[in-house]
Structure 1
Amino acid sequence: MAFVHYVVEQARERLVMMNEAADILDVARHLQAGTDMVVLHDGRDCLSGILTKTDLVERLARGEHLHTHAPVFTVMRREVVTCRESDDLRALWSLMQERGLKNLPLVDGADHPVGVLNARDALECLLRETENEEGLLRDYIMGFGYR
């Protein structure tokens, strides 16, 4: 069984975290630089929301005027699906597919953001696990190690 902790290093590298009081423009600059999601925190470093490229594009497509120097908490997504290191990757992968999510914030026990789980990393880990299981099954069927 694959767990999030198998991909935690990649998740930590993907984390871009900013204070929810930051300007929308500052967050947008991070998104422009290749980041898919900015994780936002309150003054105590607890997760308070996220902002993605898709969130901004959807608002612009609806004709909303964004004040670039307004605090990001005015436009961030507050209801966020998160994950923890002990979560099952297969269940998370299914959830991500079902909801069309590309990334999930990874939080610790105190809801402090520690990373961002990317769907590609989850899928690669699941594929490696499946290949390993196939190899073990092949070895069992061929009788290797059972002499």
Structure 2
Amino acid sequence: MSSETDNEQQVMMALGDFIFSISTLAYDQLTITDEWRWAEQPRIGKNDALQYTGRPNPTISLNGKTHLYFLDGVQYGQLDKLRERGSVLAPQQLVTGRGDVKGYWVITNLTDNQTAFISQGTVKVQNFTLTLKYYGDTLS
């Protein structure tokens, strides 16, 4: 029997009220992308000059896989719950499993690649990629 402490230790990350964990939906790859914009200014007879023009918001990509039979199917329907989260059309607070608050993020993309099926077309294996974009430290 698992205790509340065991469940807290399983949390990988929370996006709003959606919990990423081994017992709900786990990711196996997390990619953080930061960018810095440098505009090119042409110069006659010289290399272009570069001018820093700002920094776009960072993005996070999560990749993972769900299996219908893993943990008696508890992961079944979790990607639908993420779709619902994205359809809220509002920034969600992102918190790591260690409790670090990372500000508010929005879902910009969810790719669901279904690769194995059982009777009546029920999906058995789903590979997913979720892309988040930073909104800000606060909602204002």
TM-score, normalised to structure 2, is 0.27
